[in-house]
């Protein structure tokens, strides 16, 4: 039996999966340590220890050893300046071949007895950034492997906009050759968290986010339309007006705030210089509900894009791991 290991480190978590050569998961491990800890501590010692433990745990759980591992593929914020090894971003346009060619193989004996293949992130420009062009600039680490995995499920020869919801909303434009041509990042997920927990609106929504079973399309669209008319700040305060004079249902009000918080992303997608999209671009929305469903409903309601597709995740196969697996194949390590 031969294996590969995929390693994905984000801001707050590290996830490791051991895969056999048929891309079936043999074991997995997770640690609540990410690059945030490095930023806080001023040292990556905790991150190194967490990665080392997760790697050893998946091998123990599968009854395997490093002798049976063909490669360890790492992606995400682990390649940033607060990760394990800083790897320069690829510059768009960038596809699977470009990412594979830019992978760096680095030995970290205090973390892993075999070299780790680090997948670089992607940035929108390789030139100087100033006050005239900064809005067109964006960066990502981790979403590039998610993007190439997502594209494997759809036909080539089309231009796509990939929507990857989360605390940082990522929008990725892809050309007809399957190359990433730009990305746009929004903190609307973080804004939603702050509005829900740290403002006067917390009382109206009961400090609760929308659960998948409580999703209310009409209230989400109402929040979006109100924000488009009067701005996100006013629309969110209107949740308090609604709670005082119209309805007391905190779940419905949470849906309203969700739509209001996401409205500005529609503006960003259509008007930002960071993306290369048009009405003919096919939109593919990944991630988890309710953000996934909310983005689908908002984009269809907006009507700018003719084709909006929702992609349900494959059970047990994170997009980050699937993308890293594709990189491993390109590298010829399987």
* Ordered per-residue pLDDT tens for the chain, 334 residues: 799 999 999 988 999 999 998 889 999 999 999 998 998 999 999 999 999 999 999 999 999 999 999 999 999 999 999 999 999 999 999 999 999 999 999 999 999 999 999 999 999 999 999 999 999 999 999 999 999 999 999 999 999 999 999 888 999 999 999 999 999 999 999 999 999 999 999 999 999 999 999 999 999 999 999 999 999 999 999 999 999 999 999 999 999 999 999 999 999 999 999 999 999 999 999 998 999 999 999 999 999 999 999 998 777 688 999 999 999 889 887 6
Domain count, the chain: 2
Tokens of 323: 């993308």
Tokens of 258: 């969700």
Same domain, 162 and 293: yes
Same domain, 287 and 325: no
pTM of the model: 0.92
Same domain, 191 and 133: no
Same domain, 275 and 300: yes
Closest CA to 163 of 152, 174, 155: 174
Same domain, 24 and 141: yes
Same domain, 168 and 95: no
The range of the structural domain enclosing residue 265 comes to 157-310
DSSP per residue, 188-245: HHHHHHHHHHHSTHHHHHTT-PPPGGG--HHHHHHHHHHHHHH-HHHHHHHHHHHHHH
Q: Is the dihedral of CA 188, 193, 198, 199 positive or negative?
A: positive
Same domain, 222 and 120: no
Task: Work out the angle between the directed axes of helices 217-230 and 291-302 (0-180°, nearest 10).
Answer: 60
Same domain, 186 and 83: no
Same domain, 130 and 261: no
Distance CA 41, CA 38 (A): 5
Same domain, 305 and 320: no
The enclosing domain of 305 has a CATH number of 3.30.420.310
The enclosing domain of 85 has a CATH number of 3.30.420.300
């Amino acid at each position: 039996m031969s294996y590969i290991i995929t390693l994905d480190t984000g801001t707050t978590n590290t996830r490791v999966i051991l895969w056999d050569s048929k891309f079936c998961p043999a074991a997995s491990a997770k640690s609540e340590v990410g690059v945030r800890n490095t930023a806080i501590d001023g040292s990556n010692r905790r991150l190194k220890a967490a990665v080392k433990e997760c790697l050893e745990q998946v091998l123990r759980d599968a009854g395997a050893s490093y002798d049976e591992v063909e490669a360890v593929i790492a992606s995400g914020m682990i390649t940033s300046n607060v990760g394990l090894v800083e790897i320069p971003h690829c510059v768009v346009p960038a596809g699977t071949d470009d990412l594979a060619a830019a992978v760096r193989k680095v030995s970290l004996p205090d973390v892993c007895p075999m070299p780790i293949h680090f997948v670089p992130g992607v940035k929108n420009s390789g030139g100087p950034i100033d006050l005239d062009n900064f809005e067109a600039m964006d960066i990502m680490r981790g979403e590039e492997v998610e993007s190439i995995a997502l594209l494997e499920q759809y036909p080539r020869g089309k231009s796509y906009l990939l929507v990857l919801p989360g605390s940082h909303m990522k929008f990725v434009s892809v050309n007809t050759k399957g190359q990433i041509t730009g990305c746009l990042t929004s903190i609307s997920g973080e804004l939603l968290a702050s509005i829900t927990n740290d403002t006067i609106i917390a009382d109206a929504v009961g400090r609760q986010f929308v659960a998948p079973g409580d999703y209310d399309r009409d209230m989400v669209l109402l929040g979006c339309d109100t924000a488009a008319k009067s701005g996100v700040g006013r629309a969110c305060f209107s949740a308090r007006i609604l709670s005082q004079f119209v309805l007391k249902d905190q779940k419905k009000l949470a849906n309203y705030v969700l739509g209001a918080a996401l409205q500005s992303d529609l503006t960003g997608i259509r008007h930002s210089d960071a993306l290369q999209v048009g009405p003919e671009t096919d939109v593919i929305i990944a991630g988890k509900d309710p953000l996934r469903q909310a983005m689908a409903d908002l984009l269809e309601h907006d009507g700018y894009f003719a084709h909006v597709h929702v992609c349900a995740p494959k059970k047990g196969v994170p997009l980050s791991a699937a993308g890293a697996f594709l990189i491993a194949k390109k590298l010829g390590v399987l």
